Structure 1
Amino acid sequence: MQSIPVDTSRLGALMCVVKPEPKIADFEKQEVKKDRDGNTIYTVAVTVRQEGRRVSVIEISVTGEPKGIEEGMPVRVTGLEAFSWSMGDRHGISFRAAAITPVPAAPPSGGGKAGGA
């Protein structure tokens, strides 16, 4: 499976819509997916809005639990890669990232100076 790097600067506003959850490898056994080193793989559903009103939701896999990510929060995705896959007559694209982190809140914009004169 060949990875294709994704330029996240072209994806517009990224927002978490489903907070990090362990990725399930086997739904019957409820077995959690692990990487080669035994670390748990998590998935995060993220909205992507490039321009206008069109919004897409992609699920991104990441090794280890992303900290501080909540639903409705803007996020930064680092090292995003896409993978094309097929199994029988099914096919699609999956996404994996090196990291998903919260975007720091912008400081409040105040026109005046603190304190009194």
Structure 2
Amino acid sequence: MQSIPVDTSRLGVLRCAVGPEPKLADFETKQVKKDRDGNTIYTVGVTVRQDGRRVSVIEIAVPGEPKGLTEGTEVRVTGMEAFAWAMGDRHGISFRASTITPVPTAGSAGKGGGA
């Protein structure tokens, strides 16, 4: 399966629509999907708004649980790739990224403490 790099700077504002959830490898046994390094794969629903009012929601898989993502949070997606897939008569595009992090807001910039 060939990966296609995605230029996220062309996707407009990205926001968390659905917080991180572990991706299931098997729906019947509820077995969680892991990457080659043993990290749990999480899925995050992200809204993409390019021009005008049209908004799309895409699901992006990411290794390890992203922290600080809540519904409506603006996010930064790093290392995003798209994959075309087909299974029988079903087909689509899947997305994965190396990280998904919240974008710091003006009010949080420069605050000390942190996690």
Q: TM-score, normalised by structure 2?
A: 0.91
Give 1:89-104 correspondences, 5 Å limit.
89-104=89-104
Aligned residue pairs total 108
Partner of 1:73: 73
Distance 1:102 1:67 in 2: 8
Q: Secondary structure at the match of 1:70?
A: coil
Partner of 1:24: 24
Q: Which stretches in structure 2 are left out of the alignment for 5+ residues?
A: 109-115
Q: TM-score, normalised by structure 1?
A: 0.90
Partner of 1:115: none
Provide runs of 4+ in structure 1 moved above 2 Å.
none
User: Which structure is larger by alpha-carbon Rg, 1 or 2?
Assistant: 1
Tell me whether 37-46 or 99-108 shows the greater mean CA deviation. 99-108
Percent pairwise identity: 78
The two structures, once aligned, show a CA RMSD in angstroms of 1.1
1:106 aligns with 2:103: no
Partner of 1:45: 45
